[in-house]
Amino acid sequence: MKKHRFTGLWLFCFSVWSLGCCLISAAEEVEEDRQYFNEKEVPENLRDLRNIQKALQETLPQARAATVSIDLGGGSGSGVIVSGKGLVLTAAHVSAGVGKEMTVIMEDGTKHKAVSLGLVASTDAAMIQIMEEGVFPYVELDRGDSASLGDWVYALGHSGGFEKERGVGVRIGRLVRMAEQTINSDCNLIGGDSGGPLFNMKGRLIGIHSRVGASLEQNMHVPLREFLKNWDAMLAKEFVGKGPFAQEAVAFLGVSTEDREEGGIVIKEVGDKTPAADAGLQEGDVILMLNGNELDGAEQFSASLKGFKPGQKVKLKILRDDKEKEVEVELGEK
């Protein structure tokens, strides 16, 4: 039995850990015990089942209040508020970028404007911020990373999009697979749940819904530790990692160019309503320098532009009618 098997290790860990805690700070809150039903291989009787039900139902009202639907115009996902000021955790494939505007919908139908902060493209973690002032209902995080294989958990989300009459959907399950960057549960998920919260039976957030497999038991979540690890970067609106869950916005100027023998590059075409057109660039202009660096080919120029982000300003030295001129352009997003 699991309890026995781990008792020795447990005692050892606990003594080392509690000693450490005492040394570090006496005021540090001692981590609570794990719920007894999570220490059992399976519930053994109706009493165990009732205790699981009780734990879920005690924590559910707050969890529901903090779970939101995220309306992106074309589609929708879910998210969960983790601070009274309206910080929301969701999936990167839901927020789909940095600085994007969206609408957050509470279970009672109240709508709030929100904007996406940073994300981790490689593991599907993201943050968004509600832009309106207010005191929002929020949930506690499982900061101790206590989730273990077999733990009883529940998933919330606005499956298939916001439906006021139905409200948030709750599904029960266990943690059935644990890997470093993904945890699986047998809480059934569907489209629209993406970005929604996975809770332990203390109502603490342990993960965010990411994707499903073909079988009903393959429901994948981003573990909370992935958020904690990248917390500051996401708050600072960084785009962390590369795909597959989000693609970084590419800076965009809006010209087609070709090489020029005498150095620099020639603008062949300026697109309508592009940053280049807004800045007054014209067909035939020669671009000599980008932020003070000489240009010697169209390919090099477009490669250098990729080093910038949408919204950044660049200085171009151009040659028009044999006169040199400085032009500042705010790069757009493709």
How close are the terminal C-alpha atoms of the chain, in Å? Answer: 58
- Residue 264 interacting with another protein (CB under 8 A): no
Query: What residues contact residue 189 under an 8 Å CB cut-off, 6+ apart?
Result: 155, 157, 159, 171, 196, 209, 212, 219
| Binding residue for another protein, selected from 8, 9, 273, 323, defined by CB under 8 A | 9
| Binding residue for another protein, selected from 67, 97, 105, 171, defined by CB under 8 A | 171
Region of 189 please: left (phi>0), alpha (psi -120 to 50) or beta. beta
Residue 59 CB, shortest distance to another protein, in Å, is: 9
| Binding residue for another protein, selected from 32, 108, 180, 262, defined by CB under 8 A | 180
Among 277, 294, 293, smallest CA distance to 285 is for: 277
- Is residue 201 within 8 A of residue 55, CB to CB? The reply is yes
- Residue 127 interacting with another protein (CB under 8 A): no
Residue 274 CB, shortest distance to another protein, in Å, is: 34
d(CA 226, CA 314) in angstroms, rounded, equals: 34
Instruction: Single out the segment in contact with another protein by CB under 8 A; choices: 42-50, 93-101, 301-309, 315-323.
Output: 42-50
| Binding residue for another protein, selected from 124, 186, 226, 285, defined by CB under 8 A | 186
- Residue 144 interacting with another protein (CB under 8 A): yes
Nearer to another protein, 48 or 333 (CB): 48
Residue 85 CB, shortest distance to another protein, in Å, is: 27
- Is residue 203 within 8 A of residue 65, CB to CB? The reply is no
- Is residue 230 within 8 A of residue 92, CB to CB? The reply is no
Nearer to another protein, 37 or 239 (CB): 37
d(CA 40, CA 5) in angstroms, rounded, equals: 12
Residue 171 CB, shortest distance to another protein, in Å, is: 4
d(CA 189, CA 217) in angstroms, rounded, equals: 9
DSSP string covering 101-127, please?
Answer: EEEEE-TTS-EEEEEEEEEETTTTEEE
- Residue 176 interacting with another protein (CB under 8 A): yes
Helix (H/G/I), strand (E/B), else coil: 94: helix
- Residue 175 interacting with another protein (CB under 8 A): yes
**Total residue count of the chain as it appears in this document:** 334
Nearer to another protein, 60 or 277 (CB): 60
- Residue 172 interacting with another protein (CB under 8 A): yes
Residues in the site for another protein, rule: CB under 8 A?
1-2, 5-6, 9-10, 13, 16-17, 41-46, 48-50, 52-53, 56-57, 60, 64, 144-146, 148-150, 154, 159-160, 165-180, 186-193, 212, 216-217
